Amino acid sequence: MEKVSWKDEYSVGVAKIDRQHRHLFEIINKLIDHSGTSKDSELVSETLTEMLNYAKEHFTTEEELMQEYGYPEIGSHKEQHIYFFKTTAELSVNALNKQSMVASEIVEFLKMWLTLHILKCDMKYKEFFKAKIPAGV
């Protein structure tokens, strides 16, 4: 399965958030590495847990910044995060039951959702934060 690679167009202009997005991509790639055979199912479940934990940490970072600076679209953005978290958790349960076939389905979902979310939703706050958060933070 093709791995996800970082592109400059994914940058939202806030260094901490870009670092977290890159790390989310790394976790997806780790999952791709582990999703081949059923004997790897323990590694798959560990990596899915890592994804859920790190996604939660990342969403909290974004939402706290939105709260702090009064980002107007925080409500709908939070809903997107909740949707991702719930769906990933549900798919993870299926993946643990059915192993590698579902692991590839979940990888497709993670790749698609994260790249689209960064490009369509996170990108909307790029201009908003640009004026408020100093570069390099």
Binding residues (CB under 5 A) for Fe ion: these are 62, 122
Q: Closest approach of Cβ 94 to Fe ion, in Å? A: 24
What type of residue sits at position 102? V
Region class of 71: left (phi > 0), else alpha (psi between -120 and 50), else beta: beta
Nearer to Fe ion, 21 or 34 (CB): 21
Which of 103/122 has CB closer to Fe ion?
Answer: 122
> Are the C-beta atoms of residues 40 and 31 closer than 8 Å to each other?
no
Please state, in angstroms and rounded to a whole number, the distance separating the CA atoms of residues 67 and 9: 25
Q: Are 122 and 113 in contact (CB under 8 A)?
A: no
Rounded to the nearest whole angstrom, what is the least distance from the CB of residue 39 to Fe ion in the complex? 33
| Residue among 42 and 83 whose Cβ is closer to Fe ion | 83
| Residue 76 one-letter amino acid | S
**Nearest distance from residue 48's CB to Fe ion, in Å?**
18
Amino acid identity for residue 68 in this structure? E
Least Å from the CB of residue 99 to Fe ion = 29
d(CA 38, CA 44): 9
Residue nearer to Fe ion on the CB measure, 95 or 122? 122
Q: Which two tokens stand for residue 137?
A: 């933070």
